[in-house]
Structure 1
Amino acid sequence: MLELLKKDEFEQLYALMDDSFPKAEIRNFEGQRKLLEDPHYNVYVLHKNSEILAFFAEWENDSYRFIEHLAVNEKFRSQGLGSKTLQAYNALSSKPVVLEVEPPEDDMQRRRVKFYERNGFHLSSYGYIQPVINEGYESVPLVMMTYPESLNNEELEQVKNWLDQTVYKS
């Protein structure tokens, strides 16, 4: 079902990223492509024929998996595909999964949190400001969600330190 991204699919992946996320939450084209060289970074895709239906971009270490991006192609949304692929992703490893969401303050943000909660994730109160990852755009306030269990603030602090050193390179 989920397969690792092939390098020749990157342009299609980036177009889906660009359509799915605010510019402040993705790197520019070259910055995103350069991540494919990092051994801790993987992109898993779900295909139909040669079209990417959904993808997960993750960072992994010995203890955790961090979902940096998850998107479903707009043509295939509202069909349960996000939940099915998220469950398939979670089944790839027994390591805890961590992701970031904007604090649930508006309707879209609350719906996003509810989607993850329906899929077994737990919303933490651990919040911070995401460092700028796309030059020229502002940082983003975020909170962490975890799967399959809640992590305490000490564990989340360890995750955040790891993210700072690898994902955000601060």
Structure 2
Amino acid sequence: MNRVLINSIKSPFFQEAWELYLSAFPIDERRELAVQEKIFTHEDYHFEIVVIENEFIGFITWWQFEGLRYIEHFATLPIHRGKGYGKSILEKFISENEEQAILEVELPNSEIDKRRIGFYERLNFKLNPHKYQQLPYRFNGAKVDLMIMSYPTKIDEVKLAKFEKDFKEKCFDGIINIV
């Protein structure tokens, strides 16, 4: 299993990854293609596709911050779910360095949301009690109430506030100016 960094909508496997992205995330939690093209230009952004023997399995997108890696989007193809690929991808990702990793999850309002939280908890991600709203990912989009999960420990409110400020400046103010 290999993660391959891509940096353009013309990269191999991008179209498959984009189709998965569109189907795996609600509209308010995903970018439009034109915005995604701009995000590719940021040095701290990583869009990695996952392949096994040249077969597309899924993708992980993440941002590098000082002392923190933010997993922005992560998905595997439905035909490959339940095979342990998601677990393997995240275990490798979090083992690559000692920085704290964070990600967002939907509020536990449905069985699928609860199962997703349980999946991350089995990987030792911690559910944090802090209120959190994801900034709009699209023009005329809405903020989304989500929860933060972090690895290997809970994130404190000061570090979360710094992340929110830095992420807004790095991605939104610096690139897409939606907010």
State TM-score, norm by structure 1: 0.91
Structure 2 counterpart of 1:26, one-letter code = R
| Equivalenced residues, count | 170
Structure 2 counterpart of 1:4, one-letter code = L
Q: Distance in 2 between matches of 1:31 and 1:54?
A: 21
Shift of 1:136: 4.0
> Which of residues 125, 128, 147 in structure 2 aligns to 1:124?
128
8 A contact 2:62–2:71 mirrored in 1: yes
| 130-139 or 26-35, larger mean C-alpha shift | 130-139
| 114-123 or 135-144, larger mean C-alpha shift | 135-144
State TM-score, norm by structure 2: 0.87
State yes or no: 1:33 paired with 2:34: no
**Match of residue 4 from structure 2:** 3
**Match of residue 58 from structure 2:** 54
Q: Distance in 1 between matches of 2:112 and 2:36?
A: 25
**% of aligned pairs identical?**
25
8 A contact 2:17–2:58 mirrored in 1: no
State yes or no: 1:103 paired with 2:107: yes
8 A contact 1:43–1:56 mirrored in 2: yes
* 5+ long unaligned stretches in structure 2: 174-178
Report Cα offsets for 1:24-77 as digits up to 9, x if no partner. 111011111221111010012211344320211001022110000000011111
8 A contact 1:26–1:32 mirrored in 2: no
1:126-165 paired onto structure 2 within 5 Å: 126-165=130-169
Structure 1 counterpart of 2:6, one-letter code = L
8 A contact 1:126–1:153 mirrored in 2: yes
Shift of 1:156: 1.6
**Match of residue 73 from structure 1:** 77
Q: Distance in 2 between matches of 1:93 and 1:167?
A: 23
CA RMSD of aligned residues (A): 1.6
Shift of 1:127: 1.8
Change (3 A) 1:163 1:6: closer
Report Cα offsets for 1:137-168 as digits up to 9, x if no partner. 43210111110111221222222222222233
Which segments of structure 1 move beyond 6 Å, counting only runs of 4 or more? none
8 A contact 1:121–1:148 mirrored in 2: yes
